Amino acid sequence: MDLLRLALAARVRLVPERATRVDVHTREIVTESGERVPADVAVLDVGGESAAREHAGNAVLAKPALSLARLGAWLDGDSGQARTLVLVGGGAAGTEIALNVSARFPREALRVTLVEPADRLLPEFSASLGRRALQLLRERGVDVRLGAQAETAHARGVTLRGGEDLHADAVVWATGTGPHPLPRASGLPLTHRGLVRVGRDLRVEGSEWLLASGDCAAVAGHEHLARSGVHAVKQGPALLANADLLVRAVERGDDLARVRLAPWRPYPVAPYLVSTGASEALCALGPVGLRGRAFLALKHRADGRWLRRYDPNM
């Protein structure tokens, strides 16, 4: 998405810097360069970062997603000989990357290994979905190592717990979503996982002017929800409505603590679609795992419709 074009169209000031801290006392956002951006109302939607990234070395990080551009550039390069790729993490991100890469390249050109510490793939979803993904990957010649814990990534590949080294020309670190450093640096109320505590109305505990959503936040009563774009996207309308209520209250001079905000409710059963790189997709629906062409069409239609709201050319 062209964020600058969207900001200009909406007459929004874009600050192209990393925010490092929220000063809750002065109600300012502090950037990497030290600039302080004042805020009557603020929304935190900074997402998360790859878990255990301190062990990732120079591996390509699955979080934030922009980091995957490095993987795309490496895959598009022509080395003239067989290459090896190790993916650390068999959750949704690591499995989907493995499925798409193995569909694009024959085994003779790219040898892929997927390392997952659990005893099955996609452990956050139904066992049947994990079995379907495992079957597809092994049919394509992917070396899936279940019950294997990666200790660290390095220039030559990955070292597993127990000392075994896996050679790799490239490593992708897809170990799930860890907390973003900004909330902790800001002294915000956090869960034991480092996520911002927010009420059902997405307001940060103890801060009537501050909202948070997406992978950086844990909603009261729903703290154990998976860190998934499905939930983050559904939070969008509630986030917009509540931010609008707070802004209007500021304009009227009202006490923000007295403003009643709308609660957010997650899907009773959150659908999750995983592309396989072929003409079908996997679908997780609660305890059910399905596979078929219709799910790929549904995934493309849903994603395309959402993206075209922000860029008609997509």
Does 3-49+178-258 match 57-174 in CATH topology?
Answer: yes
pLDDT at 89: 95
Pairing state between β 83-88 and 170-173 = parallel
Phi-psi region of 203 (alpha: psi -120 to 50; beta: other; left: phi over 0): beta
pLDDT at 66: 81
pLDDT at 314: 67
Count other Cβ atoms within 10 Å, centred on residue 55.
Answer: 18
pLDDT at 54: 86
pLDDT at 77: 86
Task: State whether the Cα torsion 125-299-63-139 is positive or negative.
Answer: positive
What's the gap between Cα 307 and its chain centre?
A: 17
Closest CA to 63 of 183, 202, 215: 215
Find the distance separating the first CA and the last CA of the chain, reported in whole Å: 9
Q: List the structure tokens of 72.
A: 């795309």
Q: Write out pLDDT tens, residues 101-150.
A: 999 999 999 999 999 999 999 998 888 889 999 999 999 999 999 999 99
pLDDT at 37: 97
pLDDT at 305: 86
Residue numbers of the chain with a pLDDT score lower than 70: 79, 314
Cα–Cα distance for residue pair 223/27, rounded to 1 Å:
26
Q: Write out pLDDT tens, residues 143-171.
A: 999 999 999 999 999 999 999 999 999 99
Show the CA angle centred on residue 193, arms to residues 283 and 60, nearest 5°: 60
Each domain of the chain, given as residue ranges in start order, spans: 3-49+178-258, 57-174
| H/E element, 249 | helix 229-252
- Looking at residue 270, the DSSP 8-state letter turns out to be -
CATH number of 57-174: 3.50.50.60
The 3-state secondary structure of 80-100 reads: CCCEEEEEECCCHHHHHHHHH
Q: Does the pTM exceed 0.95?
A: no
Cis ω for the linkage preceding 268 (within 30 of 0): no
For the chain, the maximum distance between any two Cα atoms, rounded to a whole number of angstroms, is 67
CATH number of 3-49+178-258: 3.50.50.60
Question: Can you tell me whether residue 127 is helix, strand or coil?
Answer: helix
pLDDT at 122: 92
Question: Torsion angle, CA of 26/28/31/34, rounded to 10 degrees?
Answer: -40
- Whether residue 41 contacts residue 250, with contact meaning beta carbons closer than 8 Å, is answered with yes
pLDDT at 13: 94
